[in-house]
């Protein structure tokens, strides 16, 4: 299998995307394994990647008390389109062709409102389970996609160790089950790299063991592998036992009803449908990352009623809404947050697009959220050529508040050396 250039970085007019499209980066499956091995070795089972770490027998994982789902908007989403500051006159002055009219916004208050394509999220908003935090981001502007992604997902600028914040989070508890974290997508993002066990797949149905099919209805091959590796020493044996346990556990998720037809027919919709099946199986997964690509809108962003942003915002909103509906009672322990490596400039460019900026918006939905409100300190916009949305809330403050409210992890371990500010988006914080 070959992993090609991410779609959000091709054909967008971005120098990084152009370099990639011309052959700057093509990663093979072996390359993915080498990348994962920087923090811990990895094993391939079928079309999945499982990092080696603490292993336990299948079926021993206790049910997760809470679940954190991180949706990454790859390519730098425009937060000013997703959550519009209609009360700031510079927004409309800077975007004569692509601004969203105030009268078409959904969930408006006296200053903010969501893009009309976000209407599927209104039930979550009105029930107090969805909020937005504006003017968030990295403490210092970083307009390189790859560098910003790495910095955002590592979240430990003083360390040279390649261990992501989500891997540190699951490493602070005492759970030793075979599978605590999954990454839905083609690769393992930096946020989950590290010594703890993580599985990566595009669909939960891909998490299968070669040969464990209709020709082996009694599971003889799986039992034979388990017996062969059960007492074997060494790192490879640990990895195989980890992978076998994870794949066997995910068999319970594969037995859950597949409701992907209720989601948008997109990568994000299909990914969140797999996540919902996994979480409904209650096999101990507590941490999930899902990629939503193609947000690098240098050209042709579109209008308030059609175009690239309408499609992406509709996909994001429709997928999240379908996900929480699909979870059923399990939704009571799931919190979802969106992140993006940076935002876009305030002014539209000559191509009806937006160039790389700084501050952005984060959506927070689900369990523990004090929803139906917009959070953050608004910095005010400037209608000048290079004006950014200034960051007034470090993105780690939002994530740390979620970690503190919904997990038993140590915030100081997850975000070393960071002093969080109160955001107020989570109950009890």
Is 41 a residue whose pLDDT tops 60?
Answer: no
Q: What is the mean pLDDT of residues 286-313?
A: 96
Is 325 a residue whose pLDDT tops 90?
Answer: yes
Is 49 a residue whose pLDDT tops 50?
Answer: no
Q: Which of 59-63, 106-110, 172-176, 216-220 has the highest mean pLDDT?
A: 106-110
Is 25 a residue whose pLDDT tops 50?
Answer: no
| pLDDT cut 70: percent of the chain above it | 84
Residue 316 or 175, more confident: 316
Tens-place pLDDT, residues 14-23: 766 554 333 3
Tens-place pLDDT, residues 232-247: 888 888 777 877 888 7
Q: What is the pLDDT of residue 15?
A: 62
Neighbours of 25 (CB within 10 A): 16
Q: What is the pLDDT of residue 203?
A: 92
Q: What is the mean pLDDT of residues 200-224?
A: 81
Residue 22 or 124, more confident: 124
Is 104 a residue whose pLDDT tops 90?
Answer: yes
Q: What is the mean pLDDT of residues 281-302?
A: 95
| pLDDT cut 90: percent of the chain above it | 67
Tens-place pLDDT, residues 268-289: 999 999 999 999 999 989 999 9
Tens-place pLDDT, residues 175-209: 555 688 999 987 789 999 998 888 888 899 988 77
Q: What is the pLDDT of residue 197?
A: 82
Is 324 a residue whose pLDDT tops 80?
Answer: yes
Residue 47 or 139, more confident: 139
Is 8 a residue whose pLDDT tops 70?
Answer: no
Is 409 a residue whose pLDDT tops 70?
Answer: yes
Q: What is the pLDDT of residue 11?
A: 54
Q: What is the pLDDT of residue 186?
A: 79
The bridge status of strand 334-339 relative to strand 83-84 is unpaired
Q: What is the mean pLDDT of residues 93-109?
A: 98
């Amino acid at each position: 299998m070959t992993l090609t250039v991410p779609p959000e970085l091709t054909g967008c007019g971005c120098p990084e995307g152009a370099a990639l499209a011309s052959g700057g980066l093509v990663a093979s499956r072996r390359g993915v394994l080498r990348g994962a091995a920087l923090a811990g070795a990895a094993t391939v089972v079928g079309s999945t990647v499982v990092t080696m770490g603490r292993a336990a027998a299948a079926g021993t994982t206790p049910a997760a008390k809470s679940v954190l789902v991180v949706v990454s908007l790859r390519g730098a989403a425009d937060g000013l389109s997703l959550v519009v500051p209609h009360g700031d006159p510079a927004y409309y002055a800077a975007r004569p062709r692509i601004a969203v009219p105030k009268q078409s916004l959904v969930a408006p208050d006296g200053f903010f409102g969501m893009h009309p394509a976000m209407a599927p999220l209104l039930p979550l908003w009105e029930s107090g389970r969805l909020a937005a935090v504006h003017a968030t981001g990295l403490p210092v502007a970083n307009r390189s996609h790859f560098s910003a992604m790495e910095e955002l997902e590592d979240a430990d600028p003083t360390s040279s160790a390649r261990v992501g914040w989500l891997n540190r989070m699951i490493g602070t508890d005492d759970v030793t089950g075979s599978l605590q974290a999954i990454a839905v997508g083609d690769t393992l993002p930096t946020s989950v790299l590290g010594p703890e066990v993580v599985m990566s797949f595009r669909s939960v149905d891909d998490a299968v063991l070669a040969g464990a099919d209709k020709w082996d209805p009694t599971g003889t091959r799986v039992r034979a592998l388990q017996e062969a590796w059960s007492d074997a020493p060494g790192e490879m044996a640990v990895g195989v036992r980890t992978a076998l346990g994870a794949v066997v556990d995910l068999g319970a998720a594969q037995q859950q009803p597949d409701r992907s037809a209720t989601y948008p027919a997109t990568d994000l919709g299909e990914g969140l449908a797999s996540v919902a099946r996994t979480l409904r199986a209650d096999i101990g997964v507590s941490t999930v990352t899902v990629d939503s690509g193609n947000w690098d809108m240098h050209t042709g962003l579109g209008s308030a009623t059609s175009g690239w942003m309408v499609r992406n915002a509709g996909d994001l909103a429709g997928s999240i809404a379908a996900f929480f509906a699909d979870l059923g009672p399990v939704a009571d322990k799931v919190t979802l947050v969106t992140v993006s490596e940076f935002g876009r400039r305030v002014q539209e460019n000559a191509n009806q697009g937006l160039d790389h900026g700084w501050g952005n918006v984060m959506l927070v939905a689900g369990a523990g959220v004090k929803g139906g409100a917009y959070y953050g300190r608004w910095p005010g916009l400037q209608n000048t050529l290079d004006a950014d949305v200034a960051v007034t809330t470090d993105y780690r403050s939002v994530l740390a508040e979620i970690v503190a409210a919904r997990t038993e992890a140590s915030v100081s371990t997850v975000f070393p050396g960071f002093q969080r500010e109160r955001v107020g988006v989570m109950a009890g914080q």
